[in-house]
Amino acid sequence: MVHLQEPPTETMEAGREAHLEDPFQAFLRKLNPKFMFRSPALKSDKLGIAGTPDYVFVTKFDEIVPAEVKRSPHTQGKKGLQFVAQLVAYALILEEGYVLKDGELVETQDVTKTVVKRGVIYSAIQKKVDVLQITEELKRAVRRGIQDLKSIIETGEFPSVRQPWSKCANCWYRRTATLKRSTCPARRILAQHPKQPSESSLQE
């Protein structure tokens, strides 16, 4: 085999750049933001979680909107539940410890007035942006999920809960879950959460 690699052509570079710009341009059209933060490292000592959203946008109304890019067609409904939970978790972190000051996203230990009401997900496969309405019900559900996971980590005990495998199609825990359904830590969270958001909850 000849170990040669074709050098990038102008056409290849243009295609790569267009692909990289697609999510950003789609977010711009949907939100028309005045500020954008790319991959900010967020954390909350109070919640005990941390994460790095792909983007955090600030609209002209000073609304803070976390955004994610996913290489999956399942960004809505039950199959997109893990993406919804991820966006809601980012919303909770932002509400707990971040404020907008002089065009910057600033971490603070003070009580904030930050309220995150929306998040957005871009499907790189469908090339579309879905807007998630982040309700108080979703926030309570994710808070309970965080507490459940903390309990599992601290005690090492897995709950005995049965859920159909159809709910686990895109779940990360499938890598480690055994064939015994009751041992999967994600299943207890699914069982205790309120009704999962339908596609009507995710507005384009």
Written as one string, the DSSP assignment of 178-193 is: -SSGGG-HHHHHHHHS
Q: Are strands 118-123 and 64-70 parallel, antiparallel or unpaired?
A: parallel
Question: How far is Cα 99 from Cα 101, in angstroms, rounded to an integer?
Answer: 6
Least confident of 33-47, 83-97, 151-165, 176-190: 176-190
1 pLDDT tier (thresholds 50, 70, 90): very low
Mean pLDDT of the region 85-105: 95
What is the per-residue pLDDT for 180? 44
Rg (CA), the chain: 19
User: Please, what is the end-to-end C-alpha distance for the chain in angstroms?
Assistant: 48
Which residue in the block uniquely carries the two structure tokens 């579309």? 128
Query: How buried is 119 (Cβ within 10 angstroms: 0-12 exposed, 13-18 middle, 19+ buried)?
Result: buried
> Global pTM?
0.70
Instruction: Give the model's confidence band at 57: pLDDT under 50 very low, under 70 low, under 90 confident, else very high.
Output: very high
Name the pLDDT band for 76 (thresholds 50, 70, 90): low
Helix, coil or strand: residue 131: strand
Q: How confident is the model at residue 152 (pLDDT cuts 50, 70, 90)?
A: confident
Residue 174 confidence (pLDDT):
58
Pair of tokens at residue 32: 């028309």
Angle at 97 between CA 93 and CA 101, to 5 degrees: 120
Dihedral sign computed on CA atoms, order 168, 174, 178, 183: negative
Q: Strand, coil or helix: what is 163?
A: coil
**Higher-scoring residue by pLDDT: 96, 150:** 96
pLDDT exceeds cutoff 90 at 179? no
Spell out the domains of the chain, with CATH numbers in brackets. 16-203 (3.90.320)
